[in-house]
Amino acid sequence: MDIINNKAVLLKLREPNKVTSVIPKSRELADNKVLVNWGLEEALSLKKLNIKVPSPIEGRYKWTGRYKPFEHQRATAAFFTMNKRSFCFNEQGTGKTASAIWASDFLMNQGKIRRVLVICPLSIMDSAWRDDLFTFATHRTVSVAYGPAEKRKKIIQEGSDYVIINYDGVAIVADEIKKGGFDLIVVDEATHYKNAQTTRWKTLNKLLTDDMWLWMMTGTPAAQSPVDAYGLAKMVNKNLVPRFFGSFKDQVMTRVSQFRWVIKPAATEIVFNSLQPAIRFTKEECLDLPPMVYAKREVELTKQQKKYYTQLKHKMVMEVTGAEVTAMNAAVSLNKLLQISSGAVYTDAGDILEFDIKNRYKVLREVIDESSQKILVFVPFKHAINILTEKLRADGITTEVIQGSVSAPKRTEIFRTFQTTKDPRVLVIQPQAAAHGVTLTAANTVVWWGPTSSLETYDQANARVHRSGQKHKSTVIQLQGSAAEKHVYRLLDKRINVHADLINLYKEILD
């Protein structure tokens, strides 16, 4: 049978063995060019009868947006449409955001859902979700619910197709969300809901109704401990885990002393069975992905940083009034703006003024927790390196530092250890100190704590992970919190050396 239409399938529902022989799997669909004619309702009905059918998204959806999906993105989108409550464990950098957008847009076209609530970290509300919605679903409306409670409520009431909100913002407007007509909730970086005892978890759980869709996405579902799976599993399918956390912990861990537990041999299988239904693609499995993926993370400056950043910018405006700006003056002023954004600035008297870096550090920790391999963190300013390194080590993250004051023999030893042993997990680097000639392929994630002004240094630093011997596809993440940082990254992305456009950049930032 070359064409399977709705009637043919429905007529054979009483003979499931025969149906199985004529309904193609997804791969067979591509190989045999079989036309699938049924809709989503029929496909979901067949699925309930344990009959494997491809999602009708494969034949009934025009993939919207400026880019066409990769094969793994099509498969992920199809999986979403066939699983009302499910997990996506695709690795960081595989484009799972776009898959969720295409899948939800298809569900809207099918009349299955009306509105989508996206819950994610502050750092990716704009740079990932809003930007991707503008890229892949330009015909849909999107709003970001951030700010005071009344502002958030008003945004939700406006009725956009997609509303993006941060984790802790959900509790602020929970009642408004409940009345908002959301049929699908997408939770990005879902490990923030691993603990079922938190207010955050309980708030979301109360919002869920039996007929609501829920997709939870993370590349590292139980990276720290098998017990991390409990909260996630209970949210998606509570029937797959015990009622109480203690019972689940006893299944996956053995207590060997008052404060020490060890993982049981069966833990991996128990966690796997608990986190279902799920789909996972690693970057290595996505053969059509480019070898290096670039992403941005928004970082809100602290009040203290904003205060000094504004003061310095005002001073720059005063200095430029009626005067010629030289490249040297522009470079000094821009450098101070970048220093404030990064966490520490040198005053005119030569003193060091430190800032609270909790917002930037929180986003870095999110990246570290999501990364499957080791991480390089490039920090342009020396004193910011010291502040960051202290915080990482205080949190128990094994960290080494490469900067100008580290001797050549010591650098060689650090590089060797990083490449050949489990620890350190993180290498904090001053870009000029390790931008050339060094192989650091034990890492597959590069984080820029703040931008460098040199295009050559930027390219060479990223190349430390993207070179011969790299077994994994890599991700470069730019942390940006100020206008100065965003402007510098924009030039780097456009392959423009910052020094070549320094005066224009200075004026752009002032404007």
- Report the share of the chain in percent with pLDDT over 90: 58
Predicted confidence band at 6 (pLDDT cuts at 50, 70, 90)? very low
151 pLDDT above the threshold of 50: yes
- H helix intervals, 93-157: 96-109, 131-136, 149-157
Q: What confidence tens digit (pLDDT) does each residue in 294-317 have?
A: 999 999 999 999 999 998 888 887
Would you give the DSSP letter of residue 159?
A: T
Residue with tokens 């509105």: 115
> 50-104 pLDDT, tens per residue?
888 889 998 889 999 988 999 999 999 999 999 999 999 998 778 899 999 999 9
pTM of the model: 0.74
**Is the per-residue pLDDT at 156 higher than 70?**
yes
Share of the chain above pLDDT 70, in %: 89
CB atoms within 10 A of CB 52: 12
Closest CA to 232 of 241, 224, 414: 241
Is the separation of the CB atoms in 268 and 223 below 8 Å?
no
- The residue with greater pLDDT, 362 or 409, is 362
66-285 shares its CATH topology with 292-297+359-480: yes
Quote the pLDDT of residue 327: 64
- How far apart are the C-alpha atoms of 317 and 493, rounded to whole Å? 27
CA distances from 220 to 201, 217, 367, 478 (A): 18, 9, 11, 20
Whether the Cβ atoms of residue 478 and residue 451 lie closer than 8 Å to each other:
yes
The whole-angstrom separation of Cα 21 and Cα 281 is 28
CATH superfamily of domain region 66-285: Tandem AAA-ATPase domain (3.40.50.10810)
Nearest-angstrom CA–CA distance, 374 and 422: 9
Look at the domain 292-297+359-480 and name its fold.
Rossmann fold (3.40.50)
The crossing angle, in degrees rounded to 10, of helices 96-109 and 71-82 is 50
* Tokens matching residue 505: 């950049």
Domain boundaries, the chain: 1-54, 66-285, 292-297+359-480
**SS3 annotation, 443-510:** EEEEEECCCCCCHHHHHHHHCCCCCCCCCCCEEEEEEECCHHHHHHHHHHHCCCCHHHHHHHHHHHHH
- Cross-strand bridge partners of residue 118: 164, 186
Rounding to the nearest 10 degrees, give the CA dihedral for residues 370, 305, 331, 364: -10
* 401: nearest Cα among 388, 117, 313: 388
Tens-digit pLDDT profile for residues 182-229: 999 999 989 999 999 999 999 999 999 999 999 999 988 887 789 999
